[in-house]
């Protein structure tokens, strides 16, 4: 007597193929989510660095003296995250021009992650 339908082996093979496909798709989606998070975090870190450079430049608008050299660190909040910003201002060969190097780290549960971005700019006399 011949019956129509699938055998148990055929069903098991089909189940294995579906499971492997599901695992592959799930893994790919997980990688995309991880990469998106990393890119978003680096983009915000770069915005933090650009904001810091702009703040330093704007602080010089009414001051004719060159920017003081040295290092400073501060914490800022942007996009609901806390960032540590390290800024180092150093002299250049020109007496009125200063080199500004900014590194941005993310602060997660009092642990510092990074640097996630590094920005170098110059500030002159206005």
**What is residue 1's predicted lDDT score, i.e. its pLDDT?**
57
**In the sheet that 81-91 helps form, which strands lie side by side, from edge to edge?**
70-78, 81-91, 98-108, 111-123
- Predicted model pTM: 0.74
Tokens of 106: 């993310």
Tokens of 87: 């800024």
**What is residue 88's predicted lDDT score, i.e. its pLDDT?**
97
List the chain domain ranges.
8-123
pLDDT > 70: percent of the chain: 97
What topology is assigned to 8-123 in CATH?
3.30.1300
No. of helices (H) and no. of strands (E), the chain: 1, 4
**Residue 77 neighbours by CB under 8 Å, 6+ apart:** 83
**What is residue 82's predicted lDDT score, i.e. its pLDDT?**
95
Q: Flag residues of the chain having pLDDT under 70.
A: 1-3, 126
**What is residue 65's predicted lDDT score, i.e. its pLDDT?**
80
**What is residue 111's predicted lDDT score, i.e. its pLDDT?**
92
Q: How far is CA 42 from CA 47, 78, 98, 100, in A?
A: 9, 12, 26, 20
Q: CA–CA separation, 51 vs 44, rounded Å?
A: 10
**What is residue 26's predicted lDDT score, i.e. its pLDDT?**
85
């Amino acid at each position: 007597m011949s019956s129509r339908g699938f055998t148990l082996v055929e069903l098991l093979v089909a189940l294995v193929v579906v499971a492997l496909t599901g695992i592959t798709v799930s893994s790919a989606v997980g990688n995309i989510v991880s990469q998106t998070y990393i890119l978003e975090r680096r983009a915000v870190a770069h915005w933090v660095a650009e904001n810091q450079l702009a703040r330093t430049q704007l602080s010089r608008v009414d001051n004719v003296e060159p920017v003081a050299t040295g290092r400073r660190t501060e914490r800022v909040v942007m996009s609901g995250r806390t960032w540590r910003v390290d800024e180092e201002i150093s002299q250049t060969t020109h007496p009125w021009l200063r080199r500004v190097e900014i590194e941005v780290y993310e602060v997660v549960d009092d642990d510092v992650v990074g640097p996630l971005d590094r920005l170098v700019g110059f500030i002159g006399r206005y």
